[in-house]
């Protein structure tokens, strides 16, 4: 009995000190965003910032700090150099696909390690591939040979950017796509297909719904496939577009092969890093346990915050926001770790053409 009482007492004492330890009242918490103001990740951070403020203990002011020194890689390195050993969770890190991609492609400039991070919150998105109407294609699987015979041009930002996902997908399907680099972002790619200079393009879900869907309805463009969405360890049809086949499905139908092997694994890793769980809020691993707990609880509460969710859905499309320690860990692992075979494959694929 005495033991029990002591245990309860100790536990309550512990929880009191824990509550005391994590109290941000009157403090200012910083979200370190390695991108400039006004861009996609910045808008995302500014949408979830107030929601974190409302749900963290003590309701701290949450500010977004745009660090652009040395671009995404440099600014991420800098976070690790300056805050990689923080314990108090006063400065959290916001990442996106453009931070994950150089990590996967083993860019020499990268000095950050995802295994030293604890994920708090993750948002995903999807992508839709569409072609110009004059390609004469309505169903990518049935009209595949027709599509193959067309002059296919894709406007890209670079092979080791998020565009690795479409370019590798085209390669795997055996589509003879002429990839033209030097596009400044997906917006420029969209402008090029509108002008008729390129003929095949993709946009992330939110951008597709806003800018391309009206054109599809008018009959100027045709949507052919999505990248898919994760469900139960597989990549299956995107719930936002149930009528469009996902890439793995298209791959199996037109090549006759199962969606397995090194190429498929590599593509899936890129897809997770660039789309499925693209944007993370993270703390360094050195953060105290109850700090992590406080942040993860706040993240779980955000999912129930309609105002923040409205902006997030608009920004990224309606996809699950990942919270909860277990789900996050496996998502982060999928997005940032890659087996050595796939890694070798991507290294040599990067240098072809």
Partner 1 sequence: MPPFFLYGRNIMFEALFAALATIVSGPSIFFLILGVLIGLVVGVIPGFGGTVGLSLLLPFVFGMEPVSGIAMMMGLLSVVATSDTFPAVLIGVPGSVSAQATVMDGFPLAKKGQAARALSAAFFSSLFGGLFGAVLLTMVIQIAKPIILAFGTGEMLMLAIFGISVVGTLTGSSIFKGLVAACLGMIIGCIGISPASSEYRLDFSTILEVQNPIVMYLGGGIHLMVVAISIFAFPEIVELLRSNKAVSEKAELEKSGWFKGLRDFLSNKFLVLRCSFIGSLIGLIPGIGGSCIDWISYSHAKTTVKNNENFGKGDIRGVIGPESSSNSKEGGALIPTLLFGIPGSGGTAILMGGLILLGVDPGITMVDTQLDLIYTIIWSLAVANIFGAIICVAMAKPISQLTTINFTILAPFLISLILFAIFNSTRSWGDLIFATFIGVIAVYMKRFDYSRVALMIGFVLSDSIETYLYQTMQFYTFSELFIRPIFLVLILVSAFSIYSGIKIINKKDKIANTKSDLLNAKSRPQWVFLILLAIISVYTIFVTDHLQYLGKIFPISVGLFMFLFCIIIGIQMFISKSGSKVFYDAENLLLGNTEIRSQWLTIFWFISPLFLSVFIGFYISIGLFVFIFLSKIARVGFRFSLISSIGVWIALAAISHFMIMDFPPGILQGYIELPWPIN
Closest CA to 263 of 191, 185, 339, 330: 339
Which string of x and - marks every residue 166-205 that binds partner 1 (by CB under 8 A)? ------------x-xxx----xx-xxx-xx-xx-------
Q: Smaller CB distance to partner 1: residue 50 or 239?
A: 50
Contact letters for partner 1, residues 257-296 (x by CB under 8 A): ----------------------------------------
- The single residue among 27, 46, 146, 318 that binds partner 1, judged by CB under 8 A, is 46
Q: Which residues contact 110 (CB under 8 A, 6 or more apart)?
A: 73, 76, 77, 102, 103
Pick from 18, 21, 27, 39: which binds partner 1 (CB under 8 A)? 39
Candidates 68-76, 127-135, 255-263, 284-292 — which segment interacts with partner 1 by CB under 8 A?
68-76
Q: x/- binding map, residues 331-350, to partner 1, per CB under 8 A? A: --------------------
Per-residue buried b or exposed e for 320-346, using 16+ beta carbons within 10 Å of the residue's own CB: bbbbeeeebeebbebbbebeeebbebb
Is position 314 an interface residue for partner 1 (rule: CB under 8 A)? Answer: yes
Q: Which is nearer to partner 1, 225 or 316 (CB)?
A: 316
**Contacts with partner 1: how many residues (CB under 8 A)?**
55
Residue from the set 55, 123, 125, 207 that interacts with partner 1 by CB under 8 A: 207
Strand partners, 128: 203, 226
Nearer to partner 1 among residue 186 and residue 237 (C-beta):
186
Which parts of this chain interact with partner 1 (CB under 8 A)? 30, 36-39, 42-43, 46-47, 49-50, 63-71, 73-74, 77, 108-109, 111, 153, 155, 158-161, 178, 180-182, 187-188, 190-192, 194-195, 197-198, 207, 210-211, 214-215, 307, 310-311, 314-315
């Amino acid at each position: 009995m005495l033991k029990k009482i002591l245990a309860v007492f100790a536990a309550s004492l512990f929880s009191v000190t824990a509550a005391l330890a994590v109290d941000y009242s009157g403090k200012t918490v910083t979200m370190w965003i390695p991108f400039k103001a006004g861009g996609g990740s910045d808008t995302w951070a500014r949408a979830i910032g107030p929601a974190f403020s409302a749900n963290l203990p003590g309701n701290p002011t949450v500010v977004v700090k745009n660090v652009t020194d040395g671009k995404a890689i440099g600014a991420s390195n800098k976070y690790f150099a300056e805050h990689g050993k923080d314990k108090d969770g006063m400065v959290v890190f916001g990442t996106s696909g453009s931070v994950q991609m150089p990590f996967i492609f083993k860019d020499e400039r990268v000095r950050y390690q995802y295994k030293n991070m604890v994920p708090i919150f993750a948002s995903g998105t999807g992508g839709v591939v569409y072609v110009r109407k004059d390609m004469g294609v309505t169903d990518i699987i049935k009209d595949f040979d027709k599509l193959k015979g067309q002059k296919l041009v894709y406007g890209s930002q670079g092979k080791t950017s998020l565009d690795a996902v479409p370019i590798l997908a085209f390669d795997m399907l055996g589509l003879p796509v002429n990839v033209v680099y030097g596009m400044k972002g997906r917006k420029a790619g969209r402008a090029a297909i509108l002008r008729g200079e390129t003929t095949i393009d993709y946009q992330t879900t939110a951008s597709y719904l806003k800018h391309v869907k009206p054109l599809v309805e008018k009959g100027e463009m045709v949507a052919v496939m999505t990248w898919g969405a994760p469900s139960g360890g597989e990549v299956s049809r995107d719930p936002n577009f149930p009528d469009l086949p996902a890439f793995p499905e298209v791959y199996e139908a037109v090549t006759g092969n199962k969606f397995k092997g090194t190429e498929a694994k590599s593509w899936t890793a890129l897809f997770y890093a660039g789309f499925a769980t693209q944007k993370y809020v993270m703390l360094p691993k050195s953060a105290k346990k109850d700090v992590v707990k406080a942040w993860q609880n706040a993240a779980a509460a955000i999912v129930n915050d309609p105002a923040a969710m409205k902006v997030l859905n608009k920004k990224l499309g309606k996809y699950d926001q990942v919270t909860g320690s277990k789900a996050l860990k496996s998502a982060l692992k999928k997005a940032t770790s890659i087996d050595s075979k796939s890694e070798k494959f991507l290294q040599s694929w990067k240098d072809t053409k």
